[in-house]
Amino acid sequence: MDDDQSSIRKDNIFDLVAQNSIDFLINSLDEDEINKKTKYSIINFSAGIELLLKARLIHEHWSLVIIGEPNFQSFKDGNARTLNFKALLPQIKSAIDGKIPHYEKTKNALNKLADHRNKWIHFYHESCFSSTTGVDLDVIIADQFLVWFLIKELIDDEWSNIFHIYRDKIAEIHHQISYHEKYLSIKYDQLKPKINQEIANGAKFTWCSICGHPSFKAIKTERTAFLFHGECLVCHNDDVAIMLDCPGCKYCISLFQGELMDNIFCKGCNSELNVKMAISTEVYDPKEGNHPINCAQCWSHDSVVVHDEGYCCCNCFFDDDDCQECEFCYERVIGDSNLEGSFILGYSFCDGRGVDKD
């Protein structure tokens, strides 16, 4: 790509797309827009998120948003065919950021948002029959809240150096989402009797990692005794959590994906608990020593524990029936397909000995 194209990409088109994205988002979160024109709120919000993802791709290279043979003139004129909403995050992951946190959750939330938008634009939405106002405000607010929470996490961390010039506008959007938080608090109060009844009947609830209410209904998975899958009854966050009972007071301690800590404090009795030690069933061998087990799926060092006959990462919750050992450093890993030759070449977490130079 020549300097002229590079200059246009960096200094003009990226900014135009990013500013257009922010304009859609700000308008979509206006309180009157949500209450009185809810359909247009979700359409504008979806357009804003789609443009923000396209801006991320364009910042890397304009051709990444193009379908078919890239033609810069056609792209600059606005006539090129570009990727649809659902294809954008997978393109970002494969072409730019291979380590997107909460990738599956973010992709699913975006796809759900796109489905709502497409139904309203191309035909009609089934929620039109759910209330006298024509749309289900509960669904709109919960979906917007979840998507914004996940996208803002990317903007604040992995993409902070790209969108930093828009931090004031991003903060304005985040302030507007506070209306959603108030609404979700009211919704939790309405659901509280139902949640208490389900708890009395034996259901397990914990604090939601997205909206912060103790409304995440957890169901034990078949894989291990400590992994639970569930959904928040307030914001519809679909998640997986490690849940343990405190040995001291039996208070339920929850740990969601990406929250790995060696030691956490029980909110019930303030006692300290080592999560990995509480989960691990590995027997320590004083002769061999227990080398760290790493996870190549989320690039976390020493995050994997042995539990019964398998292995589970306490950061991303990836589990495997077996692990491999590096021939050079003797550390173990799950999620890495082949460690053959690792003594010389290393692997994800080790450089190996290296090739001798003549």
Q: Do 24 and 132 share a structural domain?
A: yes
Q: Do 324 and 258 share a structural domain?
A: no
Q: Is residue 88 classed as helix, strand or coil in its secondary structure?
A: helix
Do the domain assignments include residue 69? yes
Q: Do 158 and 12 share a structural domain?
A: yes
Which residues, in sequence order, are bridge partners of residue 240?
229
Range of the domain at 225: 201-279
Alpha carbon 100 to chain centroid, angstroms: 7
Asked whether the predicted pLDDT for residue 358 surpasses 50, the reply is no
Asked whether the predicted pLDDT for residue 1 surpasses 70, the reply is no
Do the domain assignments include residue 253? yes
The tokens describing 290, both together, are 């227990």
Do the domain assignments include residue 193? no
Residue written as tokens 């790493």?
A: 294
Distance CA 238, CA 114 (A): 17
Asked whether the predicted pLDDT for residue 251 surpasses 80, the reply is no
Do the domain assignments include residue 292? yes
pLDDT for the residue numbered 22: 95
In the chain, what is the straight-line distance between the N-terminal and C-terminal CA atoms, in Å?
Answer: 39
Q: Do 223 and 331 share a structural domain?
A: no
Asked whether the predicted pLDDT for residue 133 surpasses 50, the reply is no
Q: Is residue 241 classed as helix, strand or coil in its secondary structure?
A: strand
Q: Do 241 and 209 share a structural domain?
A: yes
104 CB neighbour count, 10 Å cutoff: 12
User: Of 262, 279, 296, which closes a domain?
Assistant: 279
Asked whether the predicted pLDDT for residue 357 surpasses 60, the reply is no
Asked whether the predicted pLDDT for residue 144 surpasses 70, the reply is yes
pLDDT for the residue numbered 129: 54
Instruction: Identify whether the C-beta of residue 147 lies closer than 8 Å to the C-beta of residue 110.
Output: yes
pLDDT for the residue numbered 134: 44
pLDDT tens-digit readout, 36-90: 677 788 889 999 999 999 999 999 999 999 998 888 888 877 788 999 999 999 9
Looking at every residue in the chain, the average pLDDT score rounds to: 81
Stretch 117-146: mean pLDDT, rounded?
67
Q: Do 248 and 123 share a structural domain?
A: no
Q: In the structure, what pLDDT confidence band is assigned to residue 107 with cuts at 50, 70 and 90?
A: very high
Directed axis angle between helix 137-156 and helix 38-60, to 10°?
20
Q: Do 88 and 167 share a structural domain?
A: yes
Stretch 86-113: mean pLDDT, rounded?
87
Q: Do 230 and 100 share a structural domain?
A: no
Between 286 and 339, whose confidence is greater?
Answer: 339
User: Of 279, 304, 329, which closes a domain?
Assistant: 279
Give 207-212 contacts, CB < 8 A, sequence gap 24+: 207/254, 208/232, 208/234, 208/235, 208/237, 208/239, 209/237, 209/239, 209/241, 209/256, 209/257, 209/259, 210/145, 210/146, 210/149, 210/235, 210/237, 210/239, 211/145, 211/181, 211/184, 211/235, 211/237
CA trace torsion 188, 190, 195, 197 (10° rounding): 160
Q: Do 150 and 46 share a structural domain?
A: yes
Q: In the structure, what pLDDT confidence band is assigned to residue 130 with cuts at 50, 70 and 90?
A: low
Q: In the structure, what pLDDT confidence band is assigned to residue 124 with cuts at 50, 70 and 90?
A: low
Q: Do 325 and 244 share a structural domain?
A: no
**Per-residue buried b or exposed e for 153-175, using 16+ beta carbons within 10 Å of the residue's own CB:** bbbeebbeebbeebeebbeebee
Asked whether the predicted pLDDT for residue 146 surpasses 70, the reply is yes
Q: Do 159 and 106 share a structural domain?
A: yes
Q: In the structure, what pLDDT confidence band is assigned to residue 253 with cuts at 50, 70 and 90?
A: confident
pLDDT for the residue numbered 98: 65
Q: Do 224 and 156 share a structural domain?
A: no
User: Of 176, 191, 222, which closes a domain?
Assistant: 176
Q: Please spell the DSSP secondary structure of 67-85, one letter per residue.
A: SSS--HHHHHTT-S-B--H
pLDDT tens-digit readout, 322-331: 888 888 888 8
Number of domains in the chain: 3
Between 357 and 234, whose confidence is greater?
Answer: 234
Do the domain assignments include residue 17? yes
Do the domain assignments include residue 189? no
